[in-house]
């Protein structure tokens, strides 16, 4: 069974500390990294990919430091970057064939693999389209296909659903769920709702520190009996925001329905709710409110 191990990772950019003593062990499963912009998610992924070196600490793949593994580590990884670039003038099929060769896949197997993954990501009918003519969601699926060509044991997805419409997000989620068997999937996002029912472990990164790493149910337990929903008048919103940590706000008739986080019943009309991963995200990363 494959294992990825991070040992005391620190990363500084000049005087700014981006990652602060991150130690984790990953076994096959989906690990979701939740964090606000600038929390260090992308830097951590780049360190795991051996694209940048940590200031201190090391990453081990099956007990070996990744910088010593070189090519054999790169054989084991698949990566979907945050902004999928690609060569815009290439056709989808040609692009995947090209990437497959760069990944060192033998010719006789490559054609088969490209066709297989084009079907899996539902792009087979569009395989002769130029990449520049594809929608954002289709480009993300090209990204997944290229990452999967070498059958990676470690798949890293850096905010893959950013910029996708809801339908494409759902389709993307199903695709990841299908891929998660016997692989380590690291998935960074700040769209918590994407992770519902998908992730095996939630990792919360805040200002470069690992706040939590646990199964979603256990992480959510920490918010149990702290999530409340209350209907208020629009003019009361300012007061509520000053007093409580506020999550989602939505219009409900002439009133406003507010989701807020507090250890005891905040208002007489407040109704306790089951916490969701979105609550968890808002609890940790909403700005400027008191608890």
Residues within the interface to another protein (CB under 8 A)? 1, 46, 49-53, 62, 71, 74-75, 77-79, 81, 83, 85-90, 94, 98-99, 101-106, 109, 113, 146, 150
Q: Which is nearer to another protein, 51 or 271 (CB)?
A: 51
CB of 75 to another protein, least distance (A): 5
CB of 104 to another protein, least distance (A): 4
CB of 212 to another protein, least distance (A): 28
Question: At 255, is the secondary structure helix, strand, or coil?
Answer: strand
Closest CA to 10 of 24, 28, 26, 22: 22
Q: Let me know: does 143 contact 120? Beta carbons within 8 Å.
A: no
Dihedral sign for Cα atoms in the order 291, 195, 12, 25 = positive
CB of 95 to another protein, least distance (A): 9
CB of 284 to another protein, least distance (A): 27
| Residue whose entry in the numeric block shows the structure tokens 């470069």 | 208
CB of 211 to another protein, least distance (A): 26
Give the integer Cα–Cα distance in Å for 117 and 277. Answer: 30
Question: At 38, is the secondary structure helix, strand, or coil?
Answer: coil
Q: Which is nearer to another protein, 99 or 220 (CB)?
A: 99
Q: Let me know: does 23 contact 7? Beta carbons within 8 Å.
A: yes
Q: Which is nearer to another protein, 11 or 169 (CB)?
A: 11
Q: Which is nearer to another protein, 94 or 115 (CB)?
A: 94
Is residue 130 left, alpha or beta, with left meaning phi > 0 and alpha meaning psi from -120 to 50? beta
CB of 51 to another protein, least distance (A): 5
Q: Which is nearer to another protein, 86 or 285 (CB)?
A: 86
Q: 133 Cβ partners below 8 Å, 6+ apart?
A: none
Three-class DSSP labels, 134-190: CCHHHHHHHHHHHHHCCCCCEEEEECCCCCCCHHHHHHHHHHHHHHCCCCEEEEEEC
Q: 291 Cβ partners below 8 Å, 6+ apart?
A: 245, 261, 262, 263
Q: Which is nearer to another protein, 42 or 276 (CB)?
A: 42
Q: Which residues pair with 246 in a beta bridge?
A: 260
Q: Which is nearer to another protein, 90 or 249 (CB)?
A: 90
Dihedral sign for Cα atoms in the order 267, 272, 275, 276 = negative
CB of 45 to another protein, least distance (A): 10
Q: Which is nearer to another protein, 146 or 180 (CB)?
A: 146
């Amino acid at each position: 069974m494959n294992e990825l191990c991070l040992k005391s990772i620190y990363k500084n950019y000049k005087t700014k500390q981006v990652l602060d003593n991150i130690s984790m062990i990953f076994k096959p499963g989906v690990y979701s990294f939740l964090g606000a912009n600038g929390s260090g998610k992308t830097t951590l992924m780049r360190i795991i990919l051996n694209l940048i070196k940590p200031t201190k600490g090391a990453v081990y793949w099956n007990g070996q430091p990744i910088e010593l593994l070189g090519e054999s580590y790169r054989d084991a990884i698949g990566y979907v970057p945050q902004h999928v670039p690609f060569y815009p003038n290439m056709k989808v099929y040609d692009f995947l064939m090209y990437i497959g060769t760069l990944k060192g896949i033998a010719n006789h197997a490559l054609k088969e693999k490209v066709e297989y993954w084009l079907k899996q990501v539902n792009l087979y009918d569009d395989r002769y389209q130029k990449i520049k003519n594809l929608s954002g969601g289709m480009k993300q699926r090209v990204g997944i296909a290229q990452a999967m060509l070498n059958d990676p044991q470690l798949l890293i997805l850096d905010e893959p659903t950013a910029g996708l419409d809801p339908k494409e997000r759902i389709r993307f989620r199903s695709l990841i769920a299908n891929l998660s068997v016997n692989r380590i999937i690291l998935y960074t996002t700040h769209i918590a709702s994407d992770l519902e029912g998908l992730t095996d472990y939630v990792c919360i990164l805040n200002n470069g520190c690992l706040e939590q790493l646990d199964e979603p149910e256990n992480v959510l337990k920490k918010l149990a009996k702290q999530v409340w929903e209350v209907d208020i008048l629009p003019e009361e919103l300012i007061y509520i925001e000053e007093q409580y940590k506020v999550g989602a706000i939505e219009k409900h008739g002439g009133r406003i329905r507010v989701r807020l986080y507090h250890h005891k019943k905040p208002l007489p009309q407040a109704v306790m709710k089951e916490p969701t991963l979105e609550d968890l995200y808002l609890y940790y990363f909403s700005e400027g409110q008191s608890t």
